Structure 1
Amino acid sequence: MTARKINFYLGAMRLTPEHQRLFSHADLLTAMHQAFVKIAPPQLAQRCVSGGFSEGNLTICADNGAIAAKLRQTVPSLLLKFHAMGYEVTAIRITVQANYRNNRAHGISGKKPKIGPAGMESLNDLAMELPQSPLKTAIESLLKKQRMGRSGRNHSDSDTQ
């Protein structure tokens, strides 16, 4: 019911002369972002968001420098595609704005990834075949940490039952 109240309030504000310019700009930004998602390479578009649009200059915020660098390579074709869609974009500025979204939206959490049983077995086999080296030491250390994490969880789970 709260969402309905908010939508009613925003709908009423949209009709007031004082807020029409704000809402029309927000609508333009939304439409431009949807257009960007359609025309940009999907693997890049999902890691970016439109930052703003003013006087023909569109700002795109990327998750990290690597995404920004790849996106900069596509700017000329993006400009042509925006023009073809009827948007008067004269320049695209790419910025890096890490953590602009909730990290959970990308599946990133504070928990460390866990290696499954098949992965543990494969890593163990690899470690046994390798000669003594920094790689072998690193794999053995990883396996040890994974085993300790599993045994720690099992004990804590049995303590709570």
Structure 2
Amino acid sequence: MYNGPEHYLDKDAAAGRVMAHARLLLKLSRRFEAVAPAGLRHSAHVANYKLGIIIIHADNGAVAAKIRQLSQRLGNELSKGGVECSGIEVKVQPRQIPCQSTTSTQKPISGKAIGMLRSTTENLPEGPLRKALENLVKRAATTE
């Protein structure tokens, strides 16, 4: 009978401890989502649990400050879930958005705009601005 990968991980002592900790974090995460105010549920998450301290990562400083203000109440509520909570530690840790692009996309420039840029470039004295505009016009002309 196949019980999934957890069955094999639970048999090894070290892996079993990791699995138990993962289950505890999952339980704390669900409990946090249930007891945290609506505005904070999606802006913070349980990151770890060490020696009775629940570590929460907040997306920004404002969320972190609010969680710190509510830490006593949140700690009491999280303890009701069956986990000892002697304190909450909050860290600002913005989430990485995997689909967010860090490179810019090239936007097309209309023929009229290219013409205006060319005439502006021709009227500029030699220098870094003129060179930058010449490069822009050259790149824009090759993408049309």
**Taking structure 1 as the reference length, what is the TM-score of the superposition?**
0.56
Q: CA deviation at 1:98?
A: 1.4
Listed as ranges, the matches of 1:1-161 within 5 Å are 8-99=4-95, 101-102=96-97, 104=99
Superposed CA deviations along residues 73-92 of structure 1, whole A, max 9, x for unmatched, are 11111112122222200010
Superposed CA deviations along residues 114-140 of structure 1, whole A, max 9, x for unmatched, are xxxxxxxxxxxxxxxxxxxxxxxxxxx
Say which structure is richer in helix: 1
- CA–CA distance in structure 2, aligned partners of residues 18 and 51 of structure 1: 20
Query: What stretches of structure 1 of length at least 5 have no aligned partner?
Result: 1-6, 111-155
Q: How many residues align?
A: 105
Counterpart AA for 2:42: Q
Q: CA RMSD in A?
A: 2.6
Q: SS state of the match for residue 4, structure 2?
A: helix
Counterpart AA for 1:86: G
Q: Which has the higher contact order (CA 8 A, sep 6+)?
A: 2
Q: Give the % identical residues.
A: 28
**Taking structure 2 as the reference length, what is the TM-score of the superposition?**
0.62
Highest CA radius of gyration, 1 or 2? 2
Q: Which aligned segments of 4 or more residues in structure 1 are displaced greater than 4 angstroms?
A: none
- CA–CA distance in structure 1, aligned partners of residues 34 and 81 of structure 2: 11
Query: What stretches of structure 2 of length at least 5 have no aligned partner?
Result: 103-142
